[in-house]
């Protein structure tokens, strides 16, 4: 069997189609051995930061920070933004891990849990002393998305709580109202189609104030990657540690490419490809979308309930050069997941749908 040509696993996923060329240029220009205290590194950081602001509409009161992974951001958010109480909307493995990290770090975290495959309405209530509400906007394990309306309702009802948004497997697709949230984060190996090993953490001034308030109370907020340290270095477009310089360079380049395409077109194409696949799954005799509520169906990670046909469909896809993503955890035997990221072309989605139709 040939190596699959199209990789639909939801992360690390297929590289954005320009990455390999950018990597070649990077080696030619000495980027992998560039000093992180050099002017050239500062301009790469600035390019990535400015590009992300333009692409995603991030306002100027947000900071653009880099970590080793989105998993690291879970830890840093709890350390820096929660003294006692966070509330976590849990509807799958990744939202649950975020919640568990809060417990591990000794916080009085609570969760609002729903069965995998379900999601959250805008009727959520949390207690008034909640310092942070954690929303996994796109649950990679189940393909459930949290409608943006839920975020704005949370803000209206709980203006004093910080709202943290895990957008790991959805950005650059969702068009967030950044005035209605306080911190958003993602990792680059999903929607941005880059090699893994870099997290991007967006925080507003309310987050910085909260971290400083905890520090003033002598609460440990970590060390080199606490918010004051990250932000002090960001002011010079630097990082506290020697970062993944090549990763930041590749991010800046891919964001530039995406700006050339235009975020509006990326979003429209994402919706078009998602509609193709959901239509095919809805029309199929034995396979169906795992998420039945259309309002909650993720546009970027589409989960098919493939039941007994899982192995046979996987084999059929692999024969046609397509690598599907396994169902997550216990769903490995009964589901398949399909990433729908900017690098996945319309023709690739049409091919995928043709094979499913003929299956």
Chain residues in the site for a copy of itself (CB under 8 A): 3, 7, 9, 11-15, 19-20, 23, 27, 30, 32-36, 67-72, 74-75, 78, 97, 100-101, 104-106, 187, 189, 193-198, 218, 220, 222-226, 240-247
Cα–Cα distance measured from residue 226 to residue 309, given in angstroms and rounded to the nearest whole number? 48
Q: How far is the CB of 139 from a copy of itself (least distance, A)?
A: 16
**Which residues share a beta bridge with 42?**
none
118: exposed, middle or buried (C-beta count within 10 Å: 0-12, 13-18, 19+)?
A: middle
Question: Which CB sits closer to a copy of itself, 40 or 288?
Answer: 40
Q: Which residues contact 116 (CB under 8 A, 6 or more apart)?
A: 91, 92, 139, 141, 142, 144, 331
Q: Which is nearer to a copy of itself, 50 or 72 (CB)?
A: 72
Closest distance between a copy of itself and the C-beta of residue 88, in Å?
14
Task: Answer whether 172's CB lies under 8 Å from 180's CB.
Answer: no
CB of 179 to a copy of itself, least distance (A): 30
Question: Which C-beta is closer to a copy of itself: that of 58 or that of 200?
Answer: 200
Which segments of 171-238 does DSSP mark as H helices, in order?
Answer: 205-216, 227-234
DSSP classification of residue 15: P
Phi first, then psi: what are they for 161, rounded to 5°?
Answer: -85, 145
Peptide bond into 244 cis (omega under 30): no
Nearer to a copy of itself, 151 or 221 (CB): 221
Q: Whole-angstrom Cα distance, residue 147 to residue 81?
A: 24
Closest-CA residue to 62 (of 78, 73, 74, 50): 50
Q: Which is nearer to a copy of itself, 178 or 349 (CB)?
A: 349
Q: Give the shortest CB-357-to-a copy of itself separation in angstroms.
A: 27
Min CB(195)–a copy of itself separation in Å: 4
CB 112 within 8 A of CB 68: no
Are residues 162 and 24 in contact, defined by beta-carbon separation less than 8 angstroms? Answer: no
Q: State the nearest-atom distance from the C-beta of 124 to a copy of itself, in Å.
A: 25
> 165: which strand partners?
135, 184
The nearer residue to a copy of itself, 147 or 240, going by C-beta atoms, is 240
Minimum CB distance to a copy of itself, residue 247 (Å): 6
- For a copy of itself, give the closer residue by CB, 332 or 346: 332
């Amino acid at each position: 069997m040939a190596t699959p040509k199209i990789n639909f696993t939801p992360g690390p996923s297929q590289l954005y189609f320009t990455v390999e060329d950018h990597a070649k240029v990077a080696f030619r220009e000495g980027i992998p051995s560039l000093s992180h205290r050099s002017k050239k590194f500062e301009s790469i950081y600035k390019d990535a930061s400015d590009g992300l602001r333009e692409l995603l509409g991030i306002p100027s009161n947000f900071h653009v920070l880099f970590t080793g992974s989105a998993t690291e951001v879970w830890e840093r958010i709890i350390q820096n933004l929660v003294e006692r109480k966070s509330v976590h909307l849990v509807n799958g493995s990744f939202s649950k891990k975020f919640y568990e990290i809060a417990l591990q770090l000794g916080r009085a975290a609570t969760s609002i849990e729903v069965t995998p495959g379900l999601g959250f309405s805008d009727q959520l209530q949390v207690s008034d002393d909640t310092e942070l509400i954690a929303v996994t906007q796109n649950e990679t394990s189940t393909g459930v998305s949290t409608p943006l309306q839920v975020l704005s309702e949370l803000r209206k009802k709980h203006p004093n709580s910080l709202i943290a948004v895990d957008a790991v497997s959805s950005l650059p697709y969702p068009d967030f109202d950044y005035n209605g949230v306080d911190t958003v984060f993602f990792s680059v190996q999903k929607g941005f189609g880059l090699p893994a090993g870099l997290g991007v953490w967006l925080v507003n001034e309310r987050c910085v104030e909260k971290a400083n308030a905890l520090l003033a109370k002598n609460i440990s907020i970590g060390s080199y990657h606490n918010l004051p340290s990250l932000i002090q270095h960001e002011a010079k477009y630097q990082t506290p540690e020697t970062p993944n310089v090549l990763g930041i360079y590749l991010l800046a380049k891919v964001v530039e490419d995406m700006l050339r395409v235009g975020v509006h077109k990326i979003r429209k194409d994402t919706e078009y490809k998602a509609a193709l696949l959901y239509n095919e799954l809805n029309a199929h005799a034995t396979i169906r979308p795992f998420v039945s509520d259309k309002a909650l169906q993720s546009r970027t990670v589409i989960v098919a309930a493939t039941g007994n046909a899982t192995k046979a469909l996987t084999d059929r896809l692999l024969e046609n050069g397509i690598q599907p993503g396994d169902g997550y955890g216990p769903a490995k035997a009964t589901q398949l997941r399909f990433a729908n990221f900017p690098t996945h072309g319309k023709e690739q989605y049409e091919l995928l749908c043709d094979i499913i139709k003929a299956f």
